Structure 1
């Protein structure tokens, strides 16, 4: 067993154990994931994702990789943009989430240019220089080795390709930060218990957000992975940030 440790929420665990523990969380919440996203964010997550799509620059004919794509809401929109000449790969490490996403997209009849891949972001199973755009929305904080994952994303992007990381972040305002903490640790687990019969998973999700790097730290990590023209845009007072980088 490795002697390396990492964070699982506020717990310190062996690095080799984290992926399994995260998998248990998402197996538990997969069937209620979309409902809980709407409840947790009052539907604002749809706006955050719309901004991500607009800032991605995705065009007809592009190849897009949506990592931690879960239930497929980003993939569905990218599918319409890239058209029959393009391709969207919805990738998720968790087979329960991937199944929910695949079934949902097939039911909606929009999976003709979408492929599905169960994949670990640290070891993306795609050739070098494969994709025009890579997105990862609310998934990077659950990755055990974020630096390795960012390097893996860099490798499979085409030169000139763009990475977009949408993730919960740190509000600069101390007032907003206190309100957000109160909501995350007092309300969120109760919503999880009420609507998903699972308070513990949503306690973990709140903790994982707090342990995620802040905006400047994450931008430095994206740059360290090789990306250029890196920036980030705060949304909803910095509760969420959209990071961007380009493969030169």
Structure 2
């Protein structure tokens, strides 16, 4: 039987998932940041601020921001003096990020279309690797983690911000109802696309638990791994070191 991977609640071939995820992000690119504000009531901005504080970017560091499309994380990293390469598999997302950077007068960022599973960068090149709300959309997560480890220098650090499953009683049920029933309707109203946002919610449900994902990070070769839950695990910051 051929390999199958999850696309939301469906099981599809790896090739089909890559193609369909690409279509999702091409569809939502123009309204991606507006939708983030609407879906999280603006909290995604606080989560991203906290995430970058954990990364502790330093002037002159080379940082790869993977799945960084619209530039939200990259702008924050660059503000601390880091040299940031923004990579995404989806050119439509990168185009939005480039336009936003131009509007802000930021010309020091490098923009590079890349597949997280097969990076073209040399080994041991970056001081840090960040990925925010992108790893769950990768077709083969283990391949992406292995590539993250490869391109980091010894002593380099890996940081991932991703949705998970909240462990707060009561809140979990409320959030499940909100995400499954209301988010697709918000997507239809703001972005004219309910199906893409239905997939994005389903992809959260299919993502490994916090302990399972931490084990995957360790399996890729990272040490001193850590998980920092936010809102009981609704969102989590995962980290590890290449030592």
Structure 2-normalised TM-score? Answer: 0.98
How far off is 1:237 after superposition? 2.1
Residues 59 and 83 of structure 2 are in contact (CA less than 8 Å); yes or no, is this contact kept in structure 1?
Answer: no
1:97 paired to 2:93: yes
1:204-219 equivalence runs, <5 A: 204-219=199-214
How far off is 1:137 after superposition? 0.2
Gap regions ≥5 residues in structure 2: none
Q: What's the counterpart of residue 127 of structure 1? A: 122
1:26-37 equivalence runs, <5 A: 26-37=25-36
Q: What's the counterpart of residue 167 of structure 1? A: 162
1:117-196 equivalence runs, <5 A: 117-196=112-191
Residues 180 and 198 of structure 2 are in contact (CA less than 8 Å); yes or no, is this contact kept in structure 1?
Answer: yes
How far off is 1:106 after superposition? 1.5
1:114 paired to 2:109: yes
Q: Structure 1 stretches (4+) deviating beyond 2 angstroms?
A: none
Instruction: Using the TM superposition, name which of 101-110 and 21-30 deviates more.
Output: 101-110
Distance in structure 2 (CA, Å) of the matches to 1:216 and 1:175: 21
Instruction: Using the TM superposition, name which of 70-79 and 198-207 deviates more.
Output: 70-79
Matched position secondary structure for 1:39: helix
1:88 paired to 2:71: no
Gap regions ≥5 residues in structure 1: none
Distance in structure 1 (CA, Å) of the matches to 2:169 and 2:135: 24
Matched position secondary structure for 2:80: helix
Superposed CA RMSD in Å reads 1.0
- The aligned length equals 243
